[in-house]
A and B are shown apart, each in its own frame.
Chain A
């Protein structure tokens, strides 16, 4: 077990910079998830920690030691791959013990470790099978078992659930979390699925275009995104971004969305945004759950307006409603009993207490 640190790590392929100088401190026992769209450099970062890719610049430290030039086998890490990468000619037990056998561990200890890991992952019955006799979920467990028996300093997961179907993915997600609670090994987990990131991580690292956009706990990222990218990436359906500007109206600060729609900001928000120039092009960031059906007694800071719905999507516990505001597509979440219908007019309420204001040009959350 160990902490991991990245210092100004850069990866260049010829003239393309895949990773552009990232700094990251991962504490001992921590479960860190790197998340981002494809090509954001998250897998490259993981592979650099593993030692499968050379780093072009910067330092990577595992347990306080710089490992830039240490080969993968001497880094004391274990990795779980997206396509499992099980050795097809070996049984489950042989797959799991391969690393230990290479290091000439005593037979009794190998057996004990494999048995223990198999028990932990509930694959004791499969121990003598070959990978091709296993289902996807079982193969994934074996791949995890192969990592666990080594008892490494760091676990690395490279999109381990991407090849599983949706139901199994949820199940394995919980399984991974349980395993981490038991073995407490420092874990770096790469995924493009923000739900996986949110549910698994102690801290999430959101990456975009080779840089870290934001590091934070799942709740921090959701409620206090730093940039438009993070705000839009975390959460499903995604946050709405509505072009707007600030204006003064009779001593209060108000936010104007369209010629017809403008709302006074709640006092706390008004104080926060008062210093901003009134001419600046801004975006109102609002999560769908803060855009619900209106009712008679609205709390302060919740403002209602009329619109005509384009499409509704009943999800069971809620109904998603889609409409346009001067050409900007917007999604809201309403109560399934609120009577939302395709093409029908509806009065909706915006909770401005939970709004975000972004600079349209820079994408920074103000």
Chain B
């Protein structure tokens, strides 16, 4: 069909056709160039981590090519994975992250649904307000938060500082606003007629949420879950401030505080710990990516 049209265009056809494909080719070349640059830039640190984690301390400090492993060893992995301390960090991180994800979802989903769908006085302002709280950096918040927790601890007699579970209360201040915000977006993209149909079919607001919105917005919920998990898993400042005893530490803080002794850096184990620490989010991404990409709303309405 298109060739026919081009043939009819006569003498100008080659120029036109050529210029279009040349444009495309150049666009592709630039895309590849920047994407490769991007990939190299962001993959270099993890690759270096992997290389270093396979070296012994002697080889790390030796003046050989740092980008090559001459005597690969798994000793760093064995040492870390058999160390109760490291497993403790891992356990703390896992428990905290999972609880934070659950708490975040239990707050964010109803909040986003209310803000996206139940029009009430001030709902738009509130939605913006929720997002604004996310914009306050944690480096500004940690001192006042520390004070607040100190006061609460004094008043109630419940030990909060230097306990891993305090992080379960603090992380949602980061995850809830952002997750609510992105889910408002997802819920808002669901056609209004869908909840109206559910409403007429006899569903309550809660049933509309659980039986229509959550299944339809599942890719969005998964995106929010991944975000909440990643934030909790990688959080460094808050656990550094709020927990100090070794048995209360989470992975990122644990690695840096226990594997650096004075000015002695145990690089092999640091890199191994960092690599092992990066694994769970990677695995989660890999498993949920399909859901994440799948568009479930197709076919709801015209289209």
Contact = CB atoms under 8 A, between A and B. Distances in A.
A binds B: yes
A146 B193 CA distance: 14
Contacts of A84: 193, 300-302
A102 B207 contact: yes
B201 A102 contact: yes
Interface in A116-147: 130-134, 136, 139, 146
B299 A133 contact: yes
A237 B202 CA distance: 43
B200 interface: yes
A261 B196 CA distance: 58
A102 B202 contact: yes
Interface of A: 50-52, 71-73, 77-79, 81-89, 98-99, 102-103, 130-134, 136, 139, 146, 150, 163
15 contacts: A73-B204, A77-B200, A83-B193, A83-B302, A84-B300, A85-B197, A85-B300, A86-B300, A88-B298, A88-B299, A88-B300, A89-B215, A89-B216, A102-B201, A130-B299
Contacts of B211: 98
B203 to A, nearest CB: 6
Contacts of B200: 50-52, 72-73, 77-79, 99
A100 B240 CA distance: 54
A79 B200 CA distance: 7
Closest 7 CB pairs of A and B: A132-B299, A85-B193, A99-B201, A83-B301, A88-B300, A131-B299, A73-B202
Contacts, number: 84
Contacts of A71: 199
A73 B208 CA distance: 12
Nearest to B218: A89
B212 interface: yes
Contacts of B196: 50, 52, 72, 79, 81, 85
Interface in B173-211: 191, 193-194, 196-204, 207, 211
Given A83-B302, A102-B207, A136-B302, A88 B296 contact: yes
Contacts of A139: 299
A22 B146 CA distance: 62
A73 B216 contact: no
A296 B294 CA distance: 72
Nearest to B214: A89
B297 interface: yes
A344 B41 CA distance: 77
A170 B295 CA distance: 32
Residue among A51, A73, A103, A134 facing the most chain B CB atoms (10 A cut-off): A73
A340 to B, nearest CB: 36
A52 B199 contact: yes
Contacts of B194: 85, 87
A206 to B, nearest CB: 25
A85 B301 contact: yes
A351 B117 CA distance: 57
Interface string B272-303: 00000000000000000000000011111110
Contacts of A136: 302
Given A81-B193, A102-B207, A87 B199 contact: no
A102 B212 CA distance: 12
Contacts of A103: 202
Contacts of A133: 299
Contacts of B216: 87-89
Contact of B212 (A83, A87, A134, A146): A87
Contacts of A85: 191, 193-194, 196-197, 300-301
Contact of A150 (B201, B207, B297): B201
B245 to A, nearest CB: 47
Contacts of A146: 197, 201
Nearest to B193: A85
Contacts of A51: 200
A242 B6 CA distance: 51
Nearest to A71: B199
Given A52-B199, A150-B201, A86 B299 contact: yes
A136 B303 CA distance: 8
A295 to B, nearest CB: 48
Residue picked from A71, A83, A139, most chain B C-beta under 10 Å = A83
A102 B193 contact: no
B216 to A, nearest CB: 6
A163 B302 contact: yes
A81 B199 contact: no
A132 B298 contact: yes
Contacts of B191: 83, 85
Contacts of B207: 102
B191 to A, nearest CB: 6
Query: Which of A78, A84, A163 has most B Cβ within 10 Å?
Result: A84
A73 B200 CA distance: 5
Nearest to B212: A87
A86 B196 CA distance: 11
Nearest to A99: B201
B198 A98 contact: yes
A81 B197 contact: yes
Given A52-B200, A85-B300, 19 more contacts: A50-B200, A52-B196, A71-B199, A73-B199, A79-B197, A79-B200, A81-B193, A85-B194, A86-B300, A87-B197, A87-B216, A88-B299, A99-B202, A102-B203, A102-B207, A130-B299, A131-B299, A132-B298, A146-B201
Q: Tell which of B199, B204, B297 has the most Cβ of chain A within 10 Å.
A: B199
